[in-house]
């Protein structure tokens, strides 16, 4: 199975900050990586797929990059609505696997 490792597990930031979350795969997954945002008690929401393609309706302050085994999610200017947990997922091969999540909290 492909292991996905996110860092950090928790990130403390302020509104307006540039935020970067990293996701590493235990083997190459090409660009078959997605990022999801999840708020407490709610379902995950797809933000980015194929490593860098922004899902329709997602603000342009979100961006993704990377390929192979190392990927990043960047929020260029953190907004109040962005405090949430972010998950990466590889869908290169079954079993699909997720990172453990990164919680973005208020500093």
Interacting residue ranges for another protein, rule: CB under 8 A: 1, 32, 34, 36, 38, 42-46, 49, 55, 87, 89, 91-92, 94-101
Locus of tokens 């079993």: 95
Residues 35, 15: Cα–Cα separation, whole Å: 21
Minimal distance in Å, beta carbon 10 to another protein?
A: 13
CA distance 106 to 24: 25
Q: Which is nearer to another protein, 38 or 65 (CB)?
A: 38
Q: Nearest approach, Cβ of 68 to another protein (angstroms)?
A: 15
Neighbours of 89 (CB within 10 A): 19
The distance of closest approach from Cβ of residue 80 to another protein in the complex, given in angstroms and rounded to an integer, is: 23
């Amino acid at each position: 199975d492909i292991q996905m490792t996110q860092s950090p597990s928790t990130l403390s930031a302020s509104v307006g900050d540039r935020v970067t979350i990293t996701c590493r795969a235990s083997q190459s997954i090409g660009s078959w990586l997605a990022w999801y945002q999840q708020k407490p008690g709610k379902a995950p929401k797809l933000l980015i797929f194929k490593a860098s393609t922004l899902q329709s309706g997602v603000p342009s302050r979100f961006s993704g990059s990377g390929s192979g085994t190392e990927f990043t999610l960047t929020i260029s200017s953190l907004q109040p609505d962005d405090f949430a947990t972010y998950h990466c997922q590889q869908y290169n091969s079954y079993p699909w696997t997720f990172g453990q999540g990164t919680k973005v909290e208020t500093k």
